[in-house]
Amino acid sequence: MTEDQGKTLKKNVSQFDEDVRQTGSYAYTTDRLSASIANSRFTDCIAESYPFKEKTVLDLGCGDGTYTLEYPRMGVREILGVDPAESAVDSANAKSRKLGLEAVVKFEVGNIYALENYFTDQRFDCIVLRGVLHHLPDPPGAIASLASFNGTIIVLEPNGNNPVLKLLEKFSRYHIEHEERSFSPSTIASWLTDSGFSVRSNRVFNLVPMFCPNWMARVLRAAGPIVEQIPFLRNIACGQCIIVAEKTN
């Protein structure tokens, strides 16, 4: 990682640390209806994308641990959440202890650009990056740092082909403060391919934004299954993409 990348990452991490210090969690893991609907859909899509039962998982960019703590219900043998934000990791470990899950779910501070030690003993079957790349100063570099991993990678990201999302990234205070920038699914897939992975599936889904009025969240949830069946419309209307890739032997 270059010095400039380190500075950018540090600025971004500081903002997320501040979120946790002020509220105890991240804005998108609150009980707001739209966030709840969207997050439930994300989790379901991830669960459907890979047989997690009895697998060991590395959850990169785990944040405050909210999503990582869902994996025991999927049957994982062990999951380690890694994030550079110390306050978030402290909060995540506290949640794991409170739920009595510390034997299965653990968290530690780490840097996505320096993961060599995690891959030396083939400890993990699967790596999950849920909403991580669009926060990073060098997303393709982060994917390249996974090149020595021999397993399955699941990437869930905002759909960079969505024009509304592009406007939010430009004008929304939250998006600006958290340095969010989305990428097209094909671009993310190319980063995986360049790092020696074979893309097994690549799909866009979900109409419900994280932050919208309750009435809108309900309407969009109902319309989602219809829109997702219309190829051109779903590619620009849906808000997320999920990509599953495996190491090419």
Residue 178 Cα distances to 21, 35, 196, angstroms: 15, 17, 30
Residue 192: name the closest of 247, 240, 241 by CA: 247
For residue 227, with 0-12 CB atoms within 10 Å meaning exposed, 13-18 middle and 19 or more buried, which class applies? middle
Q: How many domains does the chain have?
A: 1
pLDDT tens track, the chain, 249 positions:
444 444 445 454 555 545 545 554 455 556 789 989 999 999 999 999 999 999 999 999 998 999 999 999 999 999 999 999 898 899 999 999 999 999 999 999 999 999 988 988 889 999 999 999 998 989 999 999 999 999 999 999 999 999 988 887 787 676 667 678 899 999 999 999 999 999 999 999 999 988 889 999 999 999 999 999 999 999 999 999 999 999 866
In this structure, what CATH number is given to the domain that contains residue 65?
3.40.50.150
Q: What tokens does 138 get?
A: 């060098």
Give the global pTM.
0.87
Domain range for 178: 3-246
Which pLDDT belongs to residue 183? 95
Q: What tokens does 149 get?
A: 């991993």
